[in-house]
Amino acid sequence: MKNILNFTQHEATPEQLAAGVVEPCADNKERIRQLLTFNELPTQAELRQRATDCAVLASLLVRKYDCDAVMVGGAPFFMSHLESALRSFRVRFCYSFSRREAEEQIQPDGSVRKTHVFKHVGFIFGEEEA
């Protein structure tokens, strides 16, 4: 498999980068963030248009960055629209699978602070077309 383009609002983790995730340039990343961010309640038409805009951009960027898939993520209400649009543009997509792990840190006063970190484990790809 070639690389996977990070098509999320967030920066890829070191584990994701080591697994072949590629970050787009700053301008492309900002456009991705704009497309994936909803500050107002969207209509169904807006969701479909935004998904199409994402798919057009993703289809261009996978070629630019020599990737064969995009890693997606974002608002759950948008993912079915995005998946459908990506399929229509024949852009493979996947989601990152992370394991939540607890870490304990002893504080200077002797107390223990427990935090949870998410460790990248692998990718879950959208179903393949027949």
Query: For 63-90, how does the pLDDT look when each residue is reduced to its tens digit (9 = 90+)?
Result: 999 999 999 999 999 999 999 999 999 9
**For the chain, how many structural domains are there in total?**
1
HSE of 124, CA atoms in CB hemisphere, 13 A? 7
Looking up residue 104, the CATH number of its domain turns out to be 3.40.50
Confidence at residue 25, expressed as pLDDT on a 0 to 100 scale: 97
- Comparing 103 with 123, the larger pLDDT belongs to 123
In a domain, 81, yes or no: yes
Separation of alpha carbons 121 and 40, rounded Å? 33
Please report, rounded to a whole number, the percentage of residues in the chain having pLDDT higher than 90: 83
Domain housing 53: 3-125
Q: First CA to last CA across the chain, in angstroms? A: 19
For residue 130, tell me if it sits in a domain: no
State the pTM of this model.
0.85
Question: Is the confidence at residue 99, as pLDDT, over 60?
Answer: yes
- Determine, yes or no, domain membership for 59: yes
Q: For residue 18, tell me if it sits in a domain.
A: yes
Q: What distance in Å separates the CA atoms of residue 40 and residue 10, rounded to the nearest whole number?
A: 20
pLDDT in tens, 37-73: 999 999 999 999 999 999 999 999 999 999 999 999 9
